[in-house]
Structure 1
Amino acid sequence: MTESGTLTRADLAELLHSEIGLSRAACADIIERTLAHMCHAMSIGENVKISGFGTFVLRDKAQRVGRNPKTGQEVPIAPRRVLTFRASQSLRDRIVQAG
């Protein structure tokens, strides 16, 4: 991880390189292709499940009425598709143990 505490694509590629010994370029390509496949699946409406990690779930939200916090005026909120992440139980357990 970088000093900012964020795990980047480059960090993932470097970890993969150190674990399996492929070239850095090949490892970066593996990471990019994996993420591209995940993005494509979600763009066509499929959920993405990574066993032991979690599931990226697409949800369709219906139109609803919200309020402008400054004026209190009712404002319609358009229907939209949102992406959520549900961590697996094993990931949740690891997070609790680390904390």
Structure 2
Amino acid sequence: MNKTELVDAIAAECDLSKTAAQRALDSVISNIVKAVAEGKTVQLVGFGSFGSGTRAERTGRNPRTGEEIKIAAAKTVKFSAGKAFKDAVNG
């Protein structure tokens, strides 16, 4: 399912116009991104939690030349699925 299909499903299920469903979905995504970028955790009970983490600097290897390279430290995004979500996927 892509974003357009998700908007169509939301519009149909919630009796909204596609434009209103699009705005609602964009708002949800934008607010999750904003909160995680600020270092907060977004927890949606039954669905899961979005948060941020850090990845330390490490040494890697260029696969083409075999030369060692330094890979800079970076912030990462983490998602942990909630119990209800896991149960739904597992049947």
* TM-score class, shorter: 0.7 to 0.9
Runs (4 or more) in structure 1 with deviation over 6 Å come to: none
The equivalent position to 1:8 in structure 2, one of 2, 13, 17, is 2
Q: Higher relative contact order at CA 8 Å, sep ≥6: structure 1 or structure 2?
A: 2
State whether residues 53 and 77 of structure 2, in contact with CA within 8 Å, keep that contact through their aligned partners in structure 1: yes
Aligned-residue CA RMSD (Å): 1.8
Once residues 29 and 64 of structure 2 are traced to their aligned partners in structure 1, the CA distance between those partners, rounded to angstroms, is: 40
Unaligned stretches of 5+ residues in structure 2: none
Unaligned stretches of 5+ residues in structure 1: 1-6
What are the within-5 Å matches in structure 2 for residues 18-29 of structure 1?
18-29=12-23
The equivalent position to 2:47 in structure 1, one of 35, 50, 53, is 53
Using the size of structure 2 for normalisation, the TM-score is 0.81
Partner SS for 2:90: helix
In the comparison of the two structures, how many residue pairs are matched?
91
Partner SS for 1:85: strand
What are the within-5 Å matches in structure 2 for residues 1-99 of structure 1?
7-97=1-91
Give percent identity, aligned residues only. Answer: 29
Once residues 57 and 10 of structure 2 are traced to their aligned partners in structure 1, the CA distance between those partners, rounded to angstroms, is: 43
1:72 Cα deviation after fit: 4.2
Using the size of structure 1 for normalisation, the TM-score is 0.76
Once residues 53 and 73 of structure 1 are traced to their aligned partners in structure 2, the CA distance between those partners, rounded to angstroms, is: 43
State whether residues 37 and 52 of structure 2, in contact with CA within 8 Å, keep that contact through their aligned partners in structure 1: no
